[in-house]
Amino acid sequence: MAKYTSDTKLIEGAATAYKNWDNVPGMYKGLEDLSKAGTDMMGEAVKGYEAEQEKIKKEKEKEANSRKKFNILSEDVLKKFDGSPTTTIYQDHIRKKLELLRIDLIQANKTNDQDLMSSVKQSFSNISQDVISHKESRADLANISTAVGGDNLEILTAWGKEEFTMDKKGGRDVFVIDVGGKKIRKTQEELNDMMIPQDAIPGKNYAAIFDTYYTSTRKSNDKTLKYSISENVIPKTADGLHAYLSDPGFGMEEGNFKSVMNTPDNKEGITAYLKTAGIELSAYDTNDDATDDYKEFVDAIANPNNKFWKGDKETWHETSGGITAELLANITKNAWEEELERRRQEEEGGEEGALE
């Protein structure tokens, strides 16, 4: 089991990255002006900050409600079936398409029109594939990552509950999805792109590397360890890394990256380290406990949708991937050093017993 400690080495990569972000207080909306303003401007700046926090609170409540609705859908509907639709909306749409093809087929047989016959056969094949794809996508929906949130989660949940009508655009089927009274138009391919899947492989690969290192009697080269983690554990895509950091099992712990980083010990140790690096996360926190700023700091590492990145997922992936690799390497080294010390003490205890 990986052991997390408040050892400042745990967050060196993140602190370095944060300093490379120019240590801009404006990473948190509304705080940049506060850092530049005099004390006479403090009141207005704090009001803006508090308004932003209230907005964030409401967004979190909305997110929690969306997650609850999706969990009900996943547990009570999708996991009980093989992905087949549970209403007739999609089936009725397919039946209409097949009826039109039946008419074309009759016409092709009557006139011996081979071009029309070939077109009908191809259309039948396309419809069959669409039905299979739709069924598979519904089954996949039950296993999406908790990295999926916000509007995407609401859209996918409404689609999974079959709260939609069917339309066509450019010869392609379009789902007109009802999300809180708002009509959202999505193709099956667009919906599939929104489904970031859970992936157990990075966790398994890290466990294998950790076990090899942990049981070793000789310290491995630090660069080799980090490279091994970078190549075999860190997902190669932004969506994959987002899922890895969002889903349970980070570093072989029960929680995800955020929950692990937000434990009291880690929060205390990391915040203290950042202060030694000249980074005061709590400088703008009215309670002076870094609660909000620290969580924002952790979210910026774990979440490509954090406002700091301005939608640049590739830069987030490169930066956060490096931070994650360093964190996992340090976690592994810390655990190995503790295990080595435990073995040393056992050996010394055994030698003392023999001398007696």
CA distance 227 to 304: 23
DSSP letters, 142-169, are TTB-TT--HHHHHHHHHHHTT-EEEEEE
- Residue where a domain stops, chosen among 167, 194, 221: 194
Domain that holds residue 104: 69-194
- Residue 280 falls within a domain, yes or no? yes
Residue 74 pLDDT > 50, yes or no? yes
> Per-residue pLDDT tens for 226-250?
889 999 999 999 999 999 999 998 8
- Across the range 291-306, mean pLDDT stands at 80
Q: Assess whether 202 and 348 both reside in one domain.
A: yes
Give the per-residue pLDDT at 349: 67
Give the per-residue pLDDT at 221: 72
Q: Assess whether 226 and 340 both reside in one domain.
A: yes
- Residue where a domain stops, chosen among 162, 194, 226: 194
Sign of the CA dihedral 196, 297, 248, 211?
positive
Cβ neighbour number for residue 199 with a 10 Å cutoff: 16
- Residue 3 falls within a domain, yes or no? no
Q: Assess whether 188 and 219 both reside in one domain.
A: no
> Per-residue pLDDT tens for 316-349?
898 888 888 888 887 788 777 777 777 777 777 6
Question: For residue 96, what are its two tokens?
Answer: 């209409």
CB 46 within 8 A of CB 34: yes
Q: Residue 251: is it exposed, middle or buried by C-beta count within 10 angstroms (0-12/13-18/19+)?
A: buried
Q: Assess whether 268 and 282 both reside in one domain.
A: yes
DSSP letters, 260-279, are HHTSHHHHHHHHHHHHHTT-
- Residue 141 falls within a domain, yes or no? yes
- Residue 232 falls within a domain, yes or no? yes
- Across the range 252-256, mean pLDDT stands at 83
- Residue where a domain stops, chosen among 194, 226, 245: 194
Percentages helix, strand, coil for the chain (3-state, rounded to 5) are 70, 5, 25
> Which residues contact residue 263 at a Cβ distance below 8 angstroms, ignoring those fewer than 6 apart?
4
Return the higher-pLDDT residue of 14 and 351: 351
- Across the range 202-218, mean pLDDT stands at 85
Over the Cα atoms of the chain, what is R_g? 27
Beta strands in the chain (DSSP E): 164-169, 172-179, 182-186
- Residue 49 falls within a domain, yes or no? no
What are φ and ψ of residue 310, in 5° steps? 55, 35
In single-letter form, the type of residue at position 106 comes to I
What confidence tier does 56 reach under pLDDT thresholds 50, 70, 90?
low
Residue 8 pLDDT > 60, yes or no? no
CA distance 336 to 331: 9
Sign of the CA dihedral 78, 81, 83, 87?
negative
CA distance 77 to 1: 35
- Across the range 7-13, mean pLDDT stands at 40
Q: Assess whether 211 and 281 both reside in one domain.
A: yes
Mean pLDDT (the chain, rounded): 76
